[in-house]
Structure 1
Amino acid sequence: MHIQDTHWSTASTASVAATASAVAPAGGAMSTVAGNGRGEGTRPGRTTPLRVDAQRNLEHVLRAAREVFGELGYGAPMEDVARRARVGVGTVYRRFPSKDVLVRRIAEEETSRLTDQARAALGQEDEPWSALSRFLRTSVASGAGRLLPPRVLRVGVAEERSGGAGQTAAARLPQQRPQPGGGELGFVPDGAADDDAGVAELLEVVGRLVERARAAGELRPDVSVSDVLLVIATAAPSLPDAAQQAAASARLLDILLEGLRSRSA
């Protein structure tokens, strides 16, 4: 599992727009001027649907990015993503003007996926321990932990230190400010407010799972939300053989769940 901050902050809106203009084909049917921080924007007043081949390339790039970043961490180069997607690196940059934009897109989707999985566990399991263990098993099996944004773990730790359970996470999210020298790593990311809301939502729902299991006496009293997220991040090893990976993940998760459970349960 690679949890790292490399290439995490995105460029400013102006920087992204300039890069997009440089790589977009003149007069093409697909506009990549970033209007939402994800490299998906269109020119003002125009909504142009992707051509079939462009949509297919986008899906290939996103799938390849999840695989590459899941295996190598977010520090993996864009060239690796392009090779895995079997497209030219220019095709990747036409959809995602910088690597930071692609990283943010993948991390945002994985955060949303984890939140949905936590909600499903809350809604479909009456027993607190069953709900928590279901969430962990589903999340680990999906491989989402390998793409967990590093800031989620940092915020989870901050939550526990401040005594919160996720309900007010947005107010305590780390603030990102411009840094001297500018450049791709020197600006507040476009769309950061959306990311903060997504992280806060994940922490709130997982916090409910943790509190329920703790109140029922089934979870060790010292286990925190950040501990649960760390289990997800570490119990999804990346192995070359899919069957070995599934077996290793299941075995490791069984051991970790036993460590989380209250001795009196």
Structure 2
Amino acid sequence: MHVQDTHWSSAAAVAHGGAAVSAAVGGGRPDGARTTPLRVDAQRNLEHVLRAAREVFGELGYGAPMEDVARRARVGVGTVYRRFPSKDVLVRRIAEEETARLTEQARTALGQEDEPWSALSRFLRTSVASGAGRLLPPQVLRVGVAEEGSSGSAGPAGTAEEARVPQQRSQAQAGVGPGELRLVAEERSVLIGVADDPGVAALLDVVGQLVERARAAGQLRTDVSVADVLLVIATAAPSLPDAAQQAAASARLLDILLEGLRSRGA
């Protein structure tokens, strides 16, 4: 797994505080998107940069330099900076796009699969195949370990209530049994900035629904959390030179991880 939070923490500040600079060089949008149509060559360069950024950050993490992105896109680094005035802005753009893609994949699985385990496994297989999980915002993958005897006490992000994703909160308030929500009481996921990021909140909500359905059906281990599921899709098999071997290794790794998530009685 190569997800890193280098160059991420200041992204929000850049996206807001640097809006004036972005407007000057990016056509009025802090995320590098323009409000007026691009020339054909400029649009092509933008697509090359975004594709290259997804590949480079997916392989090396968000710590990879902008020069690597420019090299992969076969454009000058100045071209990259004309569209994205800082690396933070580019990182945020990629993470937002990949978060939206994962959310849509989760919604599709939830809506098209009646059987809970099939829905969850479909989401995992689709997401792993797309590679989007390796580009998730780092804050959704920060998982700590609760100290012994402290389940229900405040964690590094605040209280256990604050660590719950929206779906888990609503179910807890509706009186879902303690067995189904043991993960909520004990999980120490540090979901920094979720309240301010509707895209991340939407992803956590729909994946939470997949997790709760599978757990309620007795098909998922009771200690598996939403963060665990996201960690699975963010985990990649070692890079292999042969594409067929790479695909086989990824499939095999996912089979093993899925087996680890499944309830022993399922």
| TM-score scaled by length of structure 1 | 0.79
**Which runs of structure 2 are paired with 1:66-215 in the superposition (5 Å)?**
66-154=54-142, 161-162=160-161, 164-167=164-167, 173-175=191-193, 193=196, 196-215=197-216
Gaps of 5+ in 2: 146-156, 170-189
Match of 2:18 among 6, 15, 18: 15
Separation of aligned partners in 2, 1:168 and 1:253: 25
CA spacing shift, 1:200–1:59, aligned 2, 3 Å: same
Counterpart code for 1:5: D
CA spacing shift, 1:55–1:198, aligned 2, 3 Å: same
> Is the 8 Å Cα contact of residues 58 and 95 (structure 1) preserved in structure 2?
yes
Gaps of 5+ in 1: 25-31, 42-46, 177-191
Counterpart position of 1:259: 260
CA spacing shift, 1:59–1:12, aligned 2, 3 Å: closer
Counterpart code for 1:174: I
Separation of aligned partners in 2, 1:15 and 1:123: 39
Cα shift at 1:15: 3.3
CA spacing shift, 1:159–1:55, aligned 2, 3 Å: farther
Q: In percent, how many aligned pairs have the same letter?
A: 80
Cα shift at 1:239: 4.0
| TM-score scaled by length of structure 2 | 0.79
Deviations 1:88-110 (A, max 9, x none): 11111111111000000000011
Separation of aligned partners in 2, 1:69 and 1:114: 16
The count of corresponding residues between Structure 1 and Structure 2 is 231
**Which runs of structure 2 are paired with 1:225-264 in the superposition (5 Å)?**
225-235=226-236, 237-264=238-265
Counterpart code for 1:113: R
> Is the 8 Å Cα contact of residues 82 and 88 (structure 1) preserved in structure 2?
yes
Deviations 1:188-234 (A, max 9, x none): xxxx94xx100000000000000000000010111111111111111
Alpha carbon RMSD of aligned pairs, Å?
2.6
Counterpart position of 2:6: 6
> Is the 8 Å Cα contact of residues 122 and 131 (structure 1) preserved in structure 2?
yes
CA spacing shift, 1:165–1:66, aligned 2, 3 Å: same
Cα shift at 1:73: 0.5
SS at match of 1:217: coil
Deviations 1:110-137 (A, max 9, x none): 1001100000001111100000000000
Deviations 1:5-60 (A, max 9, x none): 10112226453533664xx4xxxxxxx1453x31224xxxxx42100000000000
Structure number with the bigger relative contact order (C-alpha 8 A, sep ≥ 6) is 1
Cα shift at 1:145: 1.5
